[in-house]
Structure 1
Amino acid sequence: MSFKVDIKATIVATILLALCMVIINFVPILAIIILPFVTVPATILWYRSKPSFFVTVVVTLCVTVLFSNVYLLTIMALMIFMSVFIGQLLIERTSKERILYLVTAFMSILTIGSVLILQIVGKLPLASELISRYHDLVVSYFEMGGTFNSDVEKTLQASLDILQASIPGYIIFWVFLLVLVNIVVTFPILRKFKIATPVFRPLFMWQINRSVVSVFVVVVLMSLFVTKENVVLYGIVTNLQYVLEWVIFIQALSLFHLFVKVKKLPIVVAVLIFIIAFIFKPIAYLFGLMDIWFNLKQRIKK
């Protein structure tokens, strides 16, 4: 690898990243529009000149620190990691769908890990604290109406427990959407800079490596023996399980898509199948696991 820094590219990329950082810092709502494009400068540099990339990252993060905004620093660090993942996968000529789920998996782990760290240092409230506040608010509402009793309390607590357990899943879902939008809107831009980018193959052609099943089984077995008292290990196992479940769910959708195509089912039926898959996710997970391990698609084709 050459250690020559492209001065012009480094300056341009640094200015663009700094501009994005300033806008997000002063107008946070615009982050929704800006974030999908933040990876473009860093991805181009990682693809073309890693020394230029490292210089840009160091300067950008140093400037970010000056704002004394830990949330902004976290966001910029995550987007830089995302640029590295995407850039490296493009160098390796990885398929577009594989980029999607690999980057989603990596970024989900990093994002959830960042949230846990921010909670540990007291920069973000614990999910249990937010749930507790919401619980007290709902209880007060029912008490004012005179309808609060033990049955309501049990139902409310069960609902809140489900909500708290689902928080990592929601984070993964939003990370997936961010990665998907990023790939869709930035790859045409990257092609303008003569960076080869793949195109999405049809969903029915997506195939996840068998190793995912092995890792998933290990994680599920570990979850049976890890208790909430072991905070760090419990958090790692639980969140990794959520990430793998989403990957397996995508494989299930791929299987269903092939079934729809082979049977030449109407669009209405296809949409209904996908809706049912989202409603009954555990069953979809089972189909996804079976497809990964036994290659059910080959059987459907035959």
Structure 2
Amino acid sequence: MFAKIDFKATFLATLTLIVVAAVTYFLPLAGLLLFFVATVPGIILWHKSRMSFGIGALITVVLVVFFGSEGLLSYIIFVLLLSLIVGQLLKERTSKERILYIATTYMSILTLGAFMMLQVFKRIPNTQVLVKPSKEQLYDMMAMSGLDSASRGVLEEGFRQMAVQLPSYIIIVIFFLILINLIVTFPILCKFKIATPVFRPLFVWQFNRVLAYIYFVVLLCVMFASQPGTFQSIVLNMQVILSFVMFIQGLSVIAFFAKVKRLPSGIGILLMVLGLLLTPVLPVVGLLGVVDLCFNLKRFIKK
């Protein structure tokens, strides 16, 4: 049994994770930046020996418990689970896009499950309490500007929907965190002779057409889900996530257009930056994604 354990790798990986935990405990912002490389020890350990990974993870979690911070413990568990998922997918020679989607799905489910459990046991406040400070500050500004009660009602509904849609925003944040993590860690993993895939160019990204049809059904459901409840919460969160998917598909169309028309790379990048940063343009980019999924807009651009 002990022959399957790489003691040197286990010690170094565990020590690295403890250092990450200590830095995060004293300097949370630095800990957030370290997240983008924190999965490297766990992935390397998983490739060397699963038993080594298990022992290293157990020791790390036990030692982190002594810091007495539930947030830090959750952070380290998130890093370890992500390391396990990415490490296994790398062993299976999975594409980088598939690693991103699968890791986001699993980590979102685990994060939201843990989030709900902590709320049930009163370890963290519910979403209404989390948005309350921002809501009160905005109401104070409204009172100073003399806005009427109708405007207050609109804002009240907006904050309520924002609280309901919080899970979908958490998923989008997790997506970007994992995306940056993969971009940063894969070149490092190559140095340790771990085979890593590369992202395909954005212009060849293509989601399944079924997502567009699901999106239409969700939009239809949102129109009839006027009463607060579980159904409304589900469709509102699905709307946010699917809108994000359509937006990515729209960016892919823009990148494809720049590629086919042989525009200078600077112009192609500028078009995508405008699509990301200009709020009035966001719905247009999302609409491009929907049209592309439904009618294969890229085929017409190519012609």
Q: Which residue of 2 aligns with 1:35?
A: 35
Stretch deviating more after TM superposition (38-47 or 261-270)? 261-270
Question: Residue 241 and residue 78 in structure 1: after superposition, are their counterparts in 2 closer, same or farther (change >3 A)?
Answer: farther
Alignment check: 8 A CA contact 1:262 1:300 kept: yes
Correspondences of 1:125-204 after superposition (within 5 Å): 125-143=125-143, 145=144, 147-161=146-160, 163-165=162-164, 167-204=166-203
Alpha-carbon contact 1:248-1:285 (below 8 Å) kept: yes
Query: Which of the numbers 245, 248, 251 marks the counterpart of 1:250?
Result: 248
Relative distance call for 1:182 and 1:148 in structure 2 (3 A) is same
CA distance in 1, matches of 2:213, 2:88: 25
Task: Kindly tell me the number of residue pairs found equivalent between the two proteins.
Answer: 298
Distance 1:27 1:273 in 2: 34
The equivalent of 2:301 in structure 1 is 300
TM-score (norm 2): 0.80
- 1:26-82 Cα offsets, whole Å, 9 max, x none, are 222211221111100111122232121112112212222233321111111111121
* C-alpha distance in 2 between matches for 1:235 and 1:154: 19
Residue type at the aligned position of 1:11: F
Work out whether 1:87 is the aligned partner of 2:91. Answer: no
What SS does structure 2 have at the residue aligned with 1:117? helix
Q: CA separation in 1, counterparts of 2:55 and 2:133?
A: 44
Distance 1:276 1:58 in 2: 44
Query: Unaligned stretches of 5+ in structure 2?
Result: none
CA distance in structure 2 between the aligned counterparts of 1:288 and 1:295, rounded to whole angstroms = 10
**1:250 & 1:84 partners in 2: Cα distance?**
27
TM-score of the aligned structures, taking structure 1 as reference length = 0.81
> Counterpart amino acid of 2:180?
V
Question: Does the Cα contact within 8 Å between 1:14 and 1:59 map onto a contact in 2?
Answer: yes
Task: Judge which range, 220-229 or 18-27, deviates more.
Answer: 220-229
Q: CA deviation at 1:186?
A: 1.3
Deviation at 1:275, TM superposition (A): 2.8
How far apart are the structure 2 equivalents of 1:142 and 1:299? 49
Equivalent pair of 1:44/1:190 in contact (CA under 8 Å):
yes
**Cα contact 1:213–1:292 (8 A) shared by 2:** yes
| Worse overlay, 61-70 or 50-59 | 61-70
Q: What amino acid does structure 1 have at the position aligned with 2:259?
A: K
Q: 1:137 to 1:291 in 2, by over 3 A?
A: closer
User: How many angstroms apart in 1 are the aligned matches of 2:158 and 2:225?
Assistant: 25
**3-state DSSP of counterpart to 1:208:** coil
Provide the C-alpha distance between the structure 2 equivalents of 1:203 and 1:28, rounded to a whole number of angstroms: 33
1:258 Cα offset (Å): 0.5
Whether 1:19 and 2:19 are equivalent positions in the alignment is yes
Q: Does 1:120 align with 2:120?
A: yes
The structure-2 alpha-carbon separation of the partners of 1:68 and 1:194, relative to structure 1 and needing over 3 Å to count, comes to same
Q: Which residue does the alignment assign to 2:107?
A: 107
Gaps in structure 1 of 5+ consecutive residues:
none
Is the Cα–Cα contact under 8 Å of residues 3 and 51 in structure 1 kept in the other structure? no
* Cα deviation, residue 162, structure 1: 5.2
- Shift, 1:257, TM fit: 0.9
> CA–CA distance in 2 between the matches of 1:58 and 1:235?
37
Pairwise CA RMSD: 3.4
1:42 maps to a residue whose letter is: G
Give yes or no for contact 2:6–2:48 (8 Å, CA) kept in 1: no
Cα distance change of structure 1 residues 107 and 292 upon mapping to structure 2, 3 Å threshold: farther
Task: Map Cα deviations across residues 150-193 of structure 1 (whole Å, 9 max, x no partner).
Answer: 14413432443454355345433432332222122211211111
| Secondary structure of 1:253 counterpart | helix
Q: Distance in 2 between matches of 1:149 and 1:221?
A: 31
Match of residue 260, structure 1, among 258, 261, 264: 258
- Deviation, 1:123, is 2.3
* Structure 2 CA distance for aligned equivalents of residues 155 and 214 of structure 1: 30
- What is the match of residue 208 of structure 1? 207
Q: Report the AA paired with residue 179 of structure 1.
A: I
